[in-house]
A and B are shown apart, each in its own frame.
Chain A
Amino acid sequence: MASEYLLELEDIEAGYGRAALVLRGLTVKVPPATVVCLVGPNGAGKSTVLKVASGMLTPRSGTIRVAGQDVTGFNPQKMLGAGLSHVLQGHSVFKEMSVEENVMLGAYSLTDRAEIAERVDFVKDLFPMVAERWKALAGALSGGQQKQVEFARSLMVRPQVVLLDEPSMGLDPKATAIVFEQVVRMRDAGTAVLLVEQNARRALETADLGCVLDLGRVHISGPASELLADPQLAELYLGGRPATPTTT
């Protein structure tokens, strides 16, 4: 079945162990070649959404589709095969390996040598820093450089959708600018991006669509520019709740 969305999370309920549900009927849809930004306060469940999408956490109910294909219940290996690539919150390079080894591990699930070589050229092109520091130890790079290595690693499989969890966390303004610039370049290269950001204003300026997540559901969604102009959202920045919480 063809779908106008690359990634669809529909009515997702998910949580950890026996604790209360974190996501309570969440729906997020990502169209092709689009940056969708998910914003919300700490603990709202933003990272949990991405974990569900990449198969690290199996939802209790709801449906996940990639390009129309039902992938609900897939493990991370299969999700990767379906075209989802996840860059974790915080640092997740393999610190005691070289940049090269990190990037090549991104191609762990690929077997065709020609394809791998082609992807290496592609990511080196997209991230000149990665090409420059190819033989360096990943753990010895700065935080911003490590993020770029993580991006490069996640793009080796030619994903349909990249899930980025707070890529600007802990970076200085210059490194943050580079990261957002690269998010745009990933999109322009044809990859859809589901972006989670604490730095909401900045992220919405970069994104095409935005969703505001609170209490495990999406409260407001729409074109990012409209959300930026929304006074309700401004209230949320300041730690307030949406004016009319839904109770279903």
Chain B
Amino acid sequence: MSLLIQSIVLGLLLGGLYALLAAGLTLYFGVMRVVMIAHSAFLILAAYLAWFFSTETGLDPLLSLLVTVPLFFLIGVGMQRLLISRLRPATMTMMSVLLTFAIALTIEGLLGYVFTGTQRRVRLSYGGGDFEVFGANIAVVKLIAFGLAAVSLLVLYLVLTRTRFGQALRATIQHPEAARLVGINTDRIAGYGFGIGLATAAVGGTALSLDSTIYPSLHWHWIGPLMAIIVVGGLGSIPGAAIAAMVLGLGQSLLQIPLGTTWAQTFFYLALFATLMVRPQGFFGGRLAQRF
């Protein structure tokens, strides 16, 4: 019984991180029709930066956010401006897969070169702390990671729905030509959209570093589930991605009880196949898509 509750709680906590990262992927696709394979590579890069920061300075890895979030935002804007926007619109989606695949390999290679392939883990004073929920033990760091993801998603939501910039971004996603005609500089907005997407990887990576052992090729374990989530959620729908993330995260966690970690991962791909067969536009690809 406590194992079941533990799995449910862990699944929901993991789902929060998935939701934040999937929101980033959704943004890239929404503003540019880009499939960003390197998203999870940036996630791991941010985790390494958090680890490096805390080992070098002895400070809390969460503080690395002050550097990585603005840094990743700028990298995202630069990437969109200098690379992505050079792709031809007609073949944007396909070519973006190739381009970002190459970027993912480059990041993985650089991490291996600079930090070697050794597995790394942040040492935290509160790393061993846990608390009890209905008899199940949950690590404090997992709750912190979830809180970070949840707060970031909330901020993202408020930015997209309440600010002038958010309005312009949503307009650009929904009808780029009409957006240009009301005076929105859609190129600049797409760049910022990309930057925000990459900033979610910075937050996610820091959250990940709190309770995970990291190594350069770890990103391959993340990109598949994340891609599955945004397809199930309906490409371009942030609420859809968030709901799919929670559901699939929970499913993965529950399946780990009978199947073990490796096989539980297949749940994402089964969900992906089922979605493509039953509802190719994703479960929230209709009304809810592009809502914010």
Contact = CB atoms under 8 A, between A and B. Distances in A.
A and B from one assembly?
Answer: yes
Nearest to B164: A108
Contacts of B164: 108
Interface string B268-292: 0000000000000000000001111
B170 A108 contact: no
Given A85-B181, A105-B184, 15 more contacts: A56-B180, A56-B181, A76-B180, A76-B181, A76-B183, A77-B185, A92-B178, A93-B175, A96-B170, A96-B289, A97-B167, A97-B171, A105-B168, A108-B164, A108-B167
B269 to A, nearest CB: 29
A109 interface: yes
A108 B164 CA distance: 8
A85 B181 CA distance: 7
Contact of B174 (A88, A97, A108, A153): A97
A80 B174 contact: no
B177 A92 contact: yes
Interface string A167-188: 0000000000000000000000
A104 B184 CA distance: 13
Contacts of B181: 54, 56, 76, 80, 85-86, 88, 92, 154
B287 to A, nearest CB: 8
CB-based closest 8 A-B pairs: A109-B183, A92-B178, A94-B174, A96-B290, A76-B180, A80-B183, A108-B182, A77-B183
B182 A109 contact: yes
A105 B290 contact: no
Contacts of B167: 97, 101, 104-105, 108
Interface in B177-193: 177-185
A106 interface: yes
Interface of A: 54, 56, 76-77, 80-81, 85-86, 88, 92-97, 101, 104-106, 108-109, 153-154, 157
B184 A96 contact: no
Nearest to B183: A109
B174 A96 contact: yes
Contacts of B174: 94-97
B236 to A, nearest CB: 10
Contacts of A104: 167
B182 A97 contact: no
A207 B216 CA distance: 67
Interface in B155-211: 164, 167-168, 170-171, 174-175, 177-185
Contacts of B183: 76-77, 80-81, 108-109, 157
Nearest to B181: A86
A88 B164 CA distance: 23
Nearest to B185: A77
A81 B168 CA distance: 17
Contacts of B178: 88, 92-94
B274 to A, nearest CB: 26
A83 to B, nearest CB: 12
Contact of B171 (A88, A94, A109): A94
A95 B180 contact: no
A80 to B, nearest CB: 5
B182 A106 contact: yes
Contact of A94 (B175, B180, B185, B289): B175
Contacts of A81: 183
Contacts of A154: 181
Nearest to B186: A76
20 contacts: A56-B180, A76-B180, A81-B183, A92-B177, A93-B175, A93-B178, A94-B178, A94-B179, A95-B290, A96-B289, A96-B292, A97-B170, A97-B174, A104-B167, A105-B168, A106-B182, A108-B168, A108-B182, A108-B183, A153-B182
A106 B170 CA distance: 14
Indicate the member of A56, A77, A85, A157 with the most B CB atoms within 10 Å: A77
Nearest to A77: B183
Given A76-B180, A77-B185, A105 B171 contact: yes
